[in-house]
């Protein structure tokens, strides 16, 4: 069996991967750019994200022998994945064919089937301090007692998020995690705000992605946008309501022809007496029926050449409705309509997504975020919320992965094939180990990003942990489903829900391809 790897050896292995990333960045900078060399740029973005996750495991490895073993297993997998991206494209990456040779001995030891099998069942501690362990325990109990018992029913019937779950989460303070104390929330302006959000979101998503972890995402996005650019009156009016769960929010940004290409949005806001008239169509507006307000991005400058500089943000009020679609009307100042058509999805049920059609829907002047100073600032205010939303989405991925891993381990312990539990088979054990170390690595990466964002940094890293974590969730839930065999394909088994829920994670809060090419690769080529 391999010995426990030293920190120096782990660092050297991580550096092999980082050097390959650095070489690709240097090579692409001399070419036409990420928009042309898209295949390499996409792989580079994911490789750089994986390398950052591996680096996050170095501090974890310093905590003990088990932690160093888990780190070694993860770093080895990162290097192998990087090799798969590079082979046959060495010239495009600026690498020699044997670039990975300095890590050959490391890979031989820490990818060996015997080593991986020996780690089966070892998840490793999270190394949170006692305050955050209390947060974890509190939200875990809520997820276990209030969310999980309802999750399957909502998924199977495509039902609504139960009102008692919303009320219970409000009582717990879940909607106030990012709202400052002066506005009735629990945020103190320290790194605990971001870490607490990550921990709480993971546990709620462990209960259910659709009716747990995603409930606090939209209030989080709107709250951070208001804190960044809202007027004092807007902050004092909306933030306490968001923190109490009294006002539920949805986000209306995406349009049928424009998803991640926010600068091209066409929905318009035209001045009228006392406010604005909204015209246009938004799509994939999750939770729009239940929400009382929509965070809406609209074009206030009709000059389309101004692109994102012509967009402004509004808080659009509407009545609460159920999940079967809705048609709302206004009489004053002119006849207005807001129609919501539900979009059926294969997973992520409970929240419900909608296509929204606005016809002269009136929004008061007071609901233009930032007032006159907010004109043309909508894109930047949205990004303030979305950057943290990406970190939160990584935390949602963690919760889904953890739930899938636990289900797979439990089933593998109980299911007997050819006279033995499938947990005794080397292949099963190696799969479970890879799942566990991947989850722990992304968890440590998310904690690191949370600490960076608390210092006003970490925008690139938030995109990286979202991109890497959400793709990993697809693999982990697939393998968990596979370990269940035929039962994994049955709707009555929760692991099938984890699989279809995980699939959406790489799509929302920045589609994977756009996030990789337009954010991660571009910033790497610009120098971070």
Please list the active-site residues. 509
- CB of 295 within 8 A of CB of 252? yes
Cα atoms found within 13 Å of the Cα of residue 385, Cβ hemisphere only: 30
**Sequence-distant (≥ 6) Cβ neighbours of residue 316 within 8 angstroms:** 252, 278, 293, 294, 295, 296, 361, 363, 367
Residue 360 in 3-state DSSP?
A: strand
515 in helix, strand or coil? helix
Is the Cβ–Cβ distance between 385 and 232 less than 8 Å? no
Read off the DSSP letter of residue 255: B
Residue 258: beta bridge partners?
255
Query: Nearest to residue 217, comparing CAs of 230, 232, 202?
Result: 202
How far are the Cα atoms of 1, 25, 347, 348, 426 from residue 343, in angstroms, in the given order?
Answer: 53, 40, 11, 11, 43
**Cβ contacts of 133 within 8 Å, gap of 6 or more:** none
DSSP string for 446-496: HHHHHHHHHTT--HHHHHHHHHHHHHHHHHHHHHHHHHTGGGGGSTTSHHH
- Sort strands 353-364 and 275-286 into parallel, antiparallel or unpaired: antiparallel
The long-range contacts involving 175-182, CB below 8 angstroms and separated by at least 24 positions, are: 175/215, 175/216, 175/219, 175/242, 175/243, 175/244, 175/245, 176/242, 176/243, 176/244, 177/216, 177/220, 178/219, 178/220, 178/223, 178/224, 178/388, 179/223, 179/239, 179/240, 179/242, 179/243, 180/227, 180/239
b/e code 445-483 from CB counts within 10 Å (16+ = b): bbbbbbebbbeeebbbbbbbbbbbbbbbbbebbbbbbeb
Q: What's phi and psi for 373, nearest 5 deg? A: -70, -15
CA dist 104 and 108 (Å) reads: 6
Is there a contact between 465 and 449 (Cβ–Cβ < 8 Å)? yes
Beta strands in 168-292 (DSSP E): 249-252, 268-272, 275-286
């Amino acid at each position: 069996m391999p010995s426990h790897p030293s920190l120096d050896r782990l660092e050297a292995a991580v550096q092999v991967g980082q050097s390959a990333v650095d070489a690709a960045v240097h090579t692409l900078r001399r070419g036409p750019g990420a928009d042309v060399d898209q295949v390499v740029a996409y792989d580079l973005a994911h490789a750089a994200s994986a390398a950052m996750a591996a680096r996050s495991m170095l501090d974890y490895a310093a905590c003990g022998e088990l932690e160093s073993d888990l780190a070694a297993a993860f770093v080895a997998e990162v290097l192998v994945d990087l090799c798969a991206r590079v082979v046959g494209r060495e010239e495009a990456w600026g690498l020699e064919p044997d670039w990975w040779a300095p890590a050959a001995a490391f890979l031989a030891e820490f990818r060996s089937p015997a080593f991986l099998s020996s780690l089966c069942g070892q998840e490793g501690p999270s190394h949170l301090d006692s305050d955050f362990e209390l947060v974890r325990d509190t939200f875990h109990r809520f997820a276990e007692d209030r969310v999980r018992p309802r999750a399957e029913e909502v998924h199977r019937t495509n039902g609504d998020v139960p009102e008692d779950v919303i009320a219970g989460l409000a009582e717990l303070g879940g909607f106030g995690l990012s709202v400052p104390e002066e506005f009735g929330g629990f945020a103190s302006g320290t790194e605990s705000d971001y870490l607490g959000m990550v921990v709480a979101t993971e546990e709620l998503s462990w209960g259910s992605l659709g009716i747990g972890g995603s409930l606090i995402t939209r209030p989080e996005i709107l709250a951070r946008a208001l804190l960044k650019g809202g007027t004092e009156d807007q902050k004092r009016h909306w933030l306490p309501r968001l923190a109490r769960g009294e006002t539920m929010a949805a986000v209306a940004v995406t349009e049928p022809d424009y998803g991640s290409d926010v600068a091209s949005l066409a929905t318009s806001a035209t001045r009228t007496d006392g406010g604005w008239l909204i015209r246009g169509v938004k799509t994939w507006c999750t939770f729009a029926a239940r929400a009382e307000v929509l965070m809406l991005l609209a074009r206030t400058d009709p000059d389309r050449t101004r692109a994102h500089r012509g967009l402004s943000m509004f808080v659009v009020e509407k009545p609460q409705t159920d999940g079967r679609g809705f048609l709302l009307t206004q009489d004053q100042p002119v006849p207005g309509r807001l129609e919501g058509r539900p979009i059926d999805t294969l997973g992520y049920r409970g929240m419900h997504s909608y296509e929204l059609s606005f016809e002269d829907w009136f929004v008061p002047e007071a609901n233009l975020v930032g007032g006159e100073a907010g004109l043309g600032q909508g894109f930047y205010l949205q990004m303030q919320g979305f950057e943290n939303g990406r970190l939160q989405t990584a935390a949602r991925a963690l919760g889904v992965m953890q739930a899938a891993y636990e289900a797979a381990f439990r089933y593998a312990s109980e299911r007997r094939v050819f006279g033995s539990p499938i947990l005794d088979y080397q292949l099963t054990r190696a799969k479970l180990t890879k799942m566990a170390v991947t989850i722990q690595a992304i968890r440590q990466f998310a904690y690191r990003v949370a600490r960076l964002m608390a210092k006003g940094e970490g925008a690139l890293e938030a995109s990286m942990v979202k991109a890497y974590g959400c793709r990993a969730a697809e693999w982990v839930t697939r393998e968990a489903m596979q370990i269940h065999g035929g039962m994994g394909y049955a709707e009555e088994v929760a692991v099938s829900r984890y699989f279809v829920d995980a699939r959406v994670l790489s799509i929302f809060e920045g589609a994977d391809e756009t996030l990789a090419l337009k954010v991660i690769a571009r910033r790497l080529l610009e120098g971070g």
